[in-house]
Amino acid sequence: MLAPYCVDGHWTLFIIAVKIRGVYILDSLKGNKYPSNYRLTSVVESVLLPIKPTFDTVNVSLFSIS
């Protein structure tokens, strides 16, 4: 499941893999990429209850297109 997420004009993509109980956060901004820094994290957790997903951030700047 994909969940695009926009805050202040910056897009982040949450990839929700329910079967493996994982959520991948793709964000091109540098800095604090902790799952708790994203407001959507708590929404995803509440929707997936009783499953407790693991969250991983992915550095998408490695995939930038010139």
**pLDDT of 24:** 93
pTM exceeds cut of 0.85: no
Whether the link from the prior residue into 50 is cis, omega within 30° of 0, is: yes
Considering only 3-7, 11-15, 51-55, 58-62, which range has the smallest mean pLDDT? 58-62
pLDDT at 2 over 80: yes
Domain boundaries, the chain: 2-63
3-state secondary structure of 46: helix
Decide which of 13 and 51 is more confident. 13
- Residue 62 phi/psi, 5-degree rounding, is -70, -20
**Chain segment 6-37, per-residue pLDDT in tens:** 989 989 999 999 889 899 999 888 777 888 88
